[in-house]
């Protein structure tokens, strides 16, 4: 598949056109940002590790019946994906209190939730991705009721699958963010699932193994991503 013009550059990935207008190429960068780009840095080989981790998880989810944008892996930093229209709603699923939920509710990080919480955020960095609810999604035509309900249903199923998959590898899936896209009328899982977009804690030590190490200057960022890759994919990042 030939890489065409760059069509979009995000904070962690670049999207390129291909010679087939139904597909595009997603390229994983090493750039890391936090707090809507206010904090910038590089995590060495992050692009390779995130591509490997995300591809492994998307393949697992597809096998379990979740439709995704993934078509094929092209290289250590590139995947061929279906060209979706991204729904501008970030869907967050939480199993354990952490991050913004801890601040919002005044509860300590680490408290288990009685059931998974699903939250929606309007995907707009200039507004700092504000939290919204289903009514905002419908009133501002960000998605139809059917589409957002399908995304929620998929998010909860993804949580069931991934929570067990990570636990089998000694990792607690604390929370994570998903993005969905429309392709020929169907809602597909898009974007990526990796330590940039999840909170992952070692199940025994509760040590953080995700982007919070970068956000909070905890050190050993590369080591944490590499360890997630080892446990999730059984490799150090080679394809």
Which residues contribute to the site for ligand ASP (CB under 6 A)?
Answer: 11, 33-37, 211, 215
| Binding of residue 12 to ligand TMP (CB under 6 A) | no
Q: Which residue has the tokens 């707090």?
A: 35
| Binding of residue 177 to ligand TMP (CB under 6 A) | yes
Q: How far is it, in rounded angstroms, from Cα 159 to Cα 153?
A: 10
Q: How far is the CB of 207 from ligand ASP (least distance, A)?
A: 19
Q: How far is the CB of 146 from ligand TMP (least distance, A)?
A: 24
From the list 166, 189, 196, 149, the residue with the least C-alpha distance to 95 is 166
Token digits of residue 209: 């193994």
For residue 204, list its beta bridge partners. none
Whether the CB-CB separation of 132 and 121 falls below 8 Å is answered with: yes
| Binding of residue 199 to ligand TMP (CB under 6 A) | yes
Which C-beta is closer to ligand ASP: that of 80 or that of 87? 87
> Which stretch, 15-23, 52-60, 170-178, 201-209, contacts ligand TMP (CB under 6 A)?
170-178
Which C-beta is closer to ligand TMP: that of 74 or that of 171? 171
Q: How far is the CB of 99 from ligand TMP (least distance, A)?
A: 2
CB-based contacts of 119, cutoff 8 Å, min separation 6: 91, 92, 93, 94, 101, 131
Single residue of 31, 175, 192, 227 touching ligand TMP by CB under 6 A? 175
| Binding of residue 100 to ligand TMP (CB under 6 A) | yes
| Binding of residue 92 to ligand TMP (CB under 6 A) | yes
Q: Annotate 76-111 with DSSP letters as a single string.
A: SSEEEEE--EE-SEEEEEEEE--HHHHHHHT--TTP
Q: How far is it, in rounded angstroms, from Cα 92 to Cα 155?
A: 8
* Cα dihedral 27→29→32→36 (10° resolution): -40
Q: How far is the CB of 10 from ligand ASP (least distance, A)?
A: 9
| Binding of residue 225 to ligand TMP (CB under 6 A) | no
Q: How far is the CB of 136 from ligand ASP (least distance, A)?
A: 20
Binding residues vs ligand TMP (CB under 6 A): 92, 98-101, 129, 175-177, 197-199
């Amino acid at each position: 598949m030939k890489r065409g013009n760059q069509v979009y550059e995000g904070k962690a990935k670049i999207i390129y056109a291909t010679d087939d207008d139904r597909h595009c190429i997603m390229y994983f960068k090493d750039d890391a940002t936090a707090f809507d780009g206010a904090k910038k840095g590089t995590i060495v080989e992050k692009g390779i590790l995130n591509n490997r981790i995300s591809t492994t998880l998307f393949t697992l989810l597809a096998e379990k019946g979740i439709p995704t944008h993934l078509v094929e892996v092209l290289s250590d930093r590139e995947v061929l994906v279906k060209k979706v229209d991204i729904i501008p709603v970030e869907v967050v699923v939480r199993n354990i209190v952490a991050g913004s939920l801890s601040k919002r509710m005044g509860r300590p990080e680490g408290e288990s939730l009685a059931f998974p919480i699903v939250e929606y955020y309007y995907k707009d960095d200039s507004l700092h991705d504000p939290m919204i609810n289903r009514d905002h999604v419908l009133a501002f035509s960000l998605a139809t009721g059917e589409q957002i309900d399908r995304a929620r249903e998929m998010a909860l199923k993804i949580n069931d699958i991934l929570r067990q998959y990570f636990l089998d590898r000694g990792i607690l899936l604390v929370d994570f963010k998903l993005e969905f896209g429309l392709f020929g009328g169907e809602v597909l899982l898009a974007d990526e699932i990796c330590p940039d977009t999840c909170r992952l804690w070692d199940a025994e030590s509760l040590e953080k193994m995700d982007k919070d190490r970068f956000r909070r200057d905890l050190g050993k960022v590369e080591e944490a991503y590499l360890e997630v890759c080892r446990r999730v994919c059984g490799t150090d990042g080679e394809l």
